[in-house]
Amino acid sequence: MLPKTDCKRMKKGGISCKPIVAFVKINNLATHFWKHRMSTTHRYTLTISCPDRAGIIAAVSGFIAQHGGFIVEASYHTDQEAQRFFMRQEIRADSLPFDADEFRRRFAPLALEFVMSWQLADSALKKRLVVLVSKQDHCLDDLLHRWRSGELQVDISCVISNHDDLRSFVEWHGIPFIRVDMPGNDAIAKTAAFEKIAALFEQHRGDCMVLARFMQIVPPWLCQRYPGRIVNIHHSFLPSFVGAKPYHQAYQRGVKLIGATCHYVTDELDAGPIIEQDTVRIDHGDTVDDLVRYGRDIEKTVLARALRYHVEDRVLVCGNKTIVFR
């Protein structure tokens, strides 16, 4: 809108400022519409990791430009210690003359030249989550709310649990609930239980296994089968206070910060690449119950953020670290 002094001058000259005000409003509305349209446009997301060298960005961007591709978001990073280059680009699918499969076929020779580890994700194909949970429902509840509202653009294929406590809640959402018992002291039976979980993950064509407070240790063989595809929310700010009852440990130590960590699961317990973390300040007046309550709130937030980064292909693994293009 024009300043009042300018409007007064225009009115003295017999000119109305209403059309200009209307134009500004319409222009702002158009800008808002365009931004929304761009955020929901069908896109391909290209992620790349390769040895660092000159010309990588030029080669990849040149390939896309050669076919008329329109890059709407681009991120780059070089890990100086590993001398490895990381890239993420979002390309408007309708700007290319071919589909995702043809993109992959044509891009393969370039990827081979630069020794790339790469993948192309299609935004039209939602990631399929298989959620594992025990008795605590706060993380699952938050995920289902974000999924139901459309905030988290995924398909939840099923929920697997070693208890029946959350069955009615999950089935109310129209999601299959599958119980897999976890015998406490029977190693052979526990291995069979995890083999069943692995079979269910394959049966439901899962892309990501989410441990939403699943209180069982995933065996090494399962971690190795799905590297970078099992996400766990840990109820402490790792690497501090690992194991059971971290909030009780934190209370006994008199810490001033507690937090939560979301990481990829590896065969080393609670030591996989970290995707997201956050903390909350506490003081001497907080009880153990207060810490647990604060912790549940932050666990939900950290898991939701980490899953968003994962399903949007914003996380690239570098050794035991991650590069997160937020």
Active site residues: 270
The contacts of residue 110 (CB under 8 Å, 6+ apart) are 59, 60, 63, 116
Neighbours of 169 (CB within 10 A): 15
| CA gap 178, 170 in Å, rounded | 10
Name the token pair of 2.
Answer: 């024009």
Name the token pair of 262.
Answer: 């979301």
| CA gap 230, 276 in Å, rounded | 14
| CA gap 293, 138 in Å, rounded | 10
Cis-peptide, bond into residue 183, ω within 30° of zero: no
Name the token pair of 319.
Answer: 């050794």
| CA gap 316, 49 in Å, rounded | 8
